[in-house]
Amino acid sequence: MRTHNAVAKDYYGILGVARDASDDEIKRAYRKLARKFHPDVNPDPEAQDRFKEINTAYEVLSDDQKRQIVDLGGDPYAPGGGMGSPGGPGAGPFVGFQDIMDAFFGTTAGSGRGPRPRNRPGADAILRVELDLAEAAFGVEAPVTVDTAVVCTACSGAGTAPGTHPVTCEACGGHGQVQSVQRTFLGQVVSSRPCVACQGTGTTIPEPCQTCAGDGRVRSRRSMTVKIPPGVEDGMRIRLAGHGEVGPGGGPPGDLYVEIHERPHDVFSRKGDDLHCRVTVPMTAAALGTQLTIKTLDSEEQLEVRSGTQPNSTLRLRGRGVPHLRGTGRGDLFVHLDVRTPTKLDPDSERLLREFAKSRGEEVAQLTKQGGFFSRVRDAFNGH
């Protein structure tokens, strides 16, 4: 015997929208009707039934699968449709209130994201490494000691004692969240918050591992070698993926960052990939010219000081600086010259120097025991 199904409801007609209405049009129509027929706003006894009907229509048309059933001529809440009626036992007048909040405020009240996993990613760790200038310039394999969290070997990260397992949290029923209901002018507002008993995981550990106290990880110190590439600078960080803190519950580890700290050098100062140093040369060498032997970071170089070199002159040695971190080649070495003037002269040296000045037409005032040039000027002003 053929059984005739009940006639499907016109959910589009209940909300007063066309069959090709967009999601936004459906939401606006529902919001307008919900404000009009909500029992807290409209005391008419028929408003409650009308409000439930509007809720059901919006619940169906805002769900892609249910709306498809309607478009095919069916009713997702008809008997035998595989879904329970929203107006079934215990539904009450505020069925679908999550959709009310979604329509009014663009969010879903009481919508939970479900329990969060017990094993979560670990945090990153940072380690400071001090290097000499030469080590930073040419690279080095630096031995380091890392103190981080690692997977507990006693429970393999599960956090449970041997032979035991996590159980469903009784406080939240495994949802990881607990709900509270608050009555407002719109009705009952259902809000969710993480369960305190299980920290939002949905499970508890009745018998935690004695080694890690249920955390799934323990602190450990291990030694490793970090390969420092040539050309690193002070303050740079090298990322070592997967060498950071293991996460709670034995989750995947974070990254380890090795921060470079470069010690000051006795001779060279660094600006990027260029090196700078200061060299003192005698006045006679600057005047006559000379050749200097400069010890760089990795070699000895001959540097020509031309005759007549002036104080604070700078000479450049190309390619004798720090290797470039990215690419090939090196920076330069800049040698800053300090010309040294003798502080004391013996009589012969002073005589020769005065003869040299005289030959160049340079008159040099001679200091006497009675006072120098400024003493004579002072005496002139004093009327002596």
> For 257-271, how does the pLDDT look when each residue is reduced to its tens digit (9 = 90+)?
999 999 999 999 999
> For 121-130, how does the pLDDT look when each residue is reduced to its tens digit (9 = 90+)?
999 999 999 9
Whether residue 6 lies inside any domain: the answer is: no
Q: Are 50 and 89 found together in one domain?
A: yes
Residue 84 — very low, low, confident or very high, per pLDDT cuts 50/70/90? Answer: very low
Number of domains in the chain: 4
Q: Give the Cα separation of 323 and 141 in Å (integer).
A: 17
Q: Are 73 and 161 found together in one domain?
A: no
Residue 184 — very low, low, confident or very high, per pLDDT cuts 50/70/90? Answer: low
Per the structure, the complete domain to which residue 284 belongs is given by 269-340
CATH code for the domain of 307: 2.60.260.20
Phi first, then psi, for residue 278 (nearest 5°) are: -120, 135
DSSP 106: S
Q: Are 233 and 151 found together in one domain?
A: yes
Cα-Cα-Cα-Cα dihedral of 235, 240, 243, 244, to 10°? 40
Q: Are 133 and 246 found together in one domain?
A: yes
For 294-333, letters b (16+ CB in 10 Å) and e give: bebbeeeeebebeeebeeebebebeebbbbeeeeeebbeb
Q: Which of 8, 16, 101, 6 is nearest to 54 (CA)?
A: 16
> For 364-384, how does the pLDDT look when each residue is reduced to its tens digit (9 = 90+)?
666 555 555 454 445 545 544
Q: Are 21 and 58 found together in one domain?
A: yes
> For 309-347, how does the pLDDT look when each residue is reduced to its tens digit (9 = 90+)?
999 999 999 999 999 998 899 999 999 999 998 888 888
Averaged pLDDT for residues 82-104? 40
